[in-house]
């Protein structure tokens, strides 16, 4: 599902404080970091595999890992805006196919005595949830203690780890009856036809995606956001969707563009049965209402929509057309002309404790997801160390990342303020 003009990769950007390979002046011991990464490679074998053709499909092939090519120091940037700009360029830079599809970059200049870090991995290797698990294997708790609430015992982890090195549930046999197969076929036809259905009028949010991208980071306190959402029976994920639709309206308004009655978004939901895959997600389509100035009303309506649609998305699983090589190619052609969704939004549960890379504390981190097909705007979020950390990714010629960032920050604060009003 890759294309020369659309790189299907997941990226996480962060800020490292002094410690381990990061000196007190912000200098970087790259060789020391490579040695630390090499030490955890046996527990993450997928990072030493590349994708190779195998008949009509593809297979994983173990290869010698040259960390000099995977763990690198890049040119200095100018503060966080420079890190955002670097990430925007990386989202249109293909990962080399001759080696494992990941890289870890150290980025000087993000802040005084701090170093940026960027971990990029292709979706063929991992979806957002699996990517976070991989990162947690590369990083360690900053205090040196494990989080018993989120980390299994070594014995349990070994029993629940697949050949990819990713935690997984034991495989459950699936008996596909004729009725099940017919139901899957009908669902596939329905969802394929829906891709071509004009669910929204023409909008600047849809169209050919250009090479100039915009990236913007936004942080908001997680506890306050959760409390605000809870006042109307909503979740943090609902709050993110409510804030995103408000920010999208602001971005359209800034361009003088009309706002459609609804802005349908695609939201990935994790599947219970991951098998041996590092990439197992269903798709939940949520028609976010626009034109609602009262944030509590908007949030309540969105919570009702997600409750209704989440179970259905999980029962259907991954998109039927993407389950074969031919189907995936056809799907990628169709989605360049679809008018079913206008945005991608994802919220990945993060670690419950601060992490460190080889002894360097990870102070801040943001996830960044690809935009594909003809969808020019996406938002991703990750909970980390008591903060919901969001990143917007857009076609810079269609949407202003700066306008979207300021509006998203404002909308998230409005949701958090609901808790103050209820008190």
Q: Domain 9-159, CATH 1.10.1740.10 — does that match?
A: no
Token pair recorded at residue 255: 């361009």
Whether 246 and 411 have beta carbons less than 8 Å apart is answered as: yes
Which residues are registered as beta bridge partners of 289?
262
Q: Which residues contact 195 (CB under 8 A, 6 or more apart)?
A: 331, 334, 335, 338, 340
Whether 158 and 167 have beta carbons less than 8 Å apart is answered as: no
Whether 322 and 299 have beta carbons less than 8 Å apart is answered as: no
Cα 159–162–168 angle (5° rounding)?
A: 75
Closest by Cα among 241, 214, 212 to 225: 241
pLDDT band at 18 (very low <50, low <70, confident <90, very high): very high
- CA 377 – CA 412 distance, rounded (Å): 18
| DSSP character at residue 206 | B
- Across the chain, mean pLDDT equals 82
Whether 322 and 331 have beta carbons less than 8 Å apart is answered as: yes
Residues of the chain with pLDDT > 70, as a percent, come to: 77
Whether 371 and 177 have beta carbons less than 8 Å apart is answered as: no
Residue range(s) occupied by CATH 3.30.559.30 in the chain: 178-352+366-422
CATH class of residue range 178-352+366-422: alpha beta
- CA 124 – CA 136 distance, rounded (Å): 19
Q: Which residue has the higher pLDDT, 348 or 164?
A: 348
Residue range(s) occupied by CATH 3.30.559.10 in the chain: 9-159
Q: Which residue has the higher pLDDT, 122 or 320?
A: 122
In tens, the pLDDT along 19-61 reads 999 999 999 999 999 999 998 887 788 889 998 888 877 888 9
pLDDT band at 198 (very low <50, low <70, confident <90, very high): low
| DSSP character at residue 99 | S
């Amino acid at each position: 599902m890759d294309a020369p003009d659309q790189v299907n990769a997941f990226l996480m950007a962060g800020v490292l404080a002094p410690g381990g390979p990061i000196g007190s002046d912000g200098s970087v011991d790259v060789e020391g970091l490579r040695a630390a990464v090499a030490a955890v490679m046996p527990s993450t074998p997928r990072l030493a595999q590349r994708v190779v053709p195998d008949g009509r499909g593809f297979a994983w092939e173990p290869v010698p890992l040259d960390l000099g090519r995977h763990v690198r120091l890049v040119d200095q940037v100018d503060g966080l805006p420079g890190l955002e700009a670097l990430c925007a360029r990386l989202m249109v830079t293909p990962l080399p196919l001759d080696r494992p599809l990941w890289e870890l970059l150290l980025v000087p200049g993000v802040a005084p005595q701090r170093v940026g870090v960027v971990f990029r991995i292709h979706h063929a290797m991992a979806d957002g949830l699996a990517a976070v698990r991989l990162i947690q294997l590369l990083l360690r708790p900053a205090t040196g203690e494990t989080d018993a609430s989120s980390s299994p015992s070594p014995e349990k982890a070994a029993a629940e780890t697949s050949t990819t090195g990713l935690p997984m549930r034991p495989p459950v046999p699936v008996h596909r009856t004729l009725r099940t197969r017919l139901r899957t076929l009908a669902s596939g036809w329905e969802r394929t036809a829906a891709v071509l259905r004009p669910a929204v009028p023409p909008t600047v949010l849809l169209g050919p995606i250009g090479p100039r991208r915009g990236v913007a980071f936004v942080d908001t306190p997680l506890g306050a956001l959760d409390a605000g959402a809870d006042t109307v029976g909503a979740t943090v994920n609902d709050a993110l969707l409510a804030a995103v639709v408000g920010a999208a309206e602001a971005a359209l308004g800034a361009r003088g563009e009309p706002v459609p009655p609804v802005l349908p978004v695609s939201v990935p939901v994790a599947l219970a049965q991951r098998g041996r895959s590092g990439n197992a997600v269903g798709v939940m389509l949520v028609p976010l209402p626009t034109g609602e100035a009262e944030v509590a009303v908007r949030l309540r309506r969105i919570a009702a929509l997600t409750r209704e649609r989440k179970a259905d998305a999980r029962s259907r699983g991954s998109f039927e057309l993407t389950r074969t090589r031919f189907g995936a190619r056809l799907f990628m052609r169709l989605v360049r002309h679809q008018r079913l969704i206008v945005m991608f939004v994802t919220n990945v549960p993060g670690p419950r404790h601060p992490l460190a890379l080889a002894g360097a504390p990870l102070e801040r981190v943001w996830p960044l997801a690809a935009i594909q097909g003809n969808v020019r705007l996406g938002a991703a979020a990750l909970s980390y160390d008591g903060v919901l950390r969001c990143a917007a990714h857009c076609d810079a010629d269609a949407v202003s990342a700066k306008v979207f960032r300021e509006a998203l920050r404002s909308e998230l604060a409005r949701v958090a303020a609901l808790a103050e009003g209820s008190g």
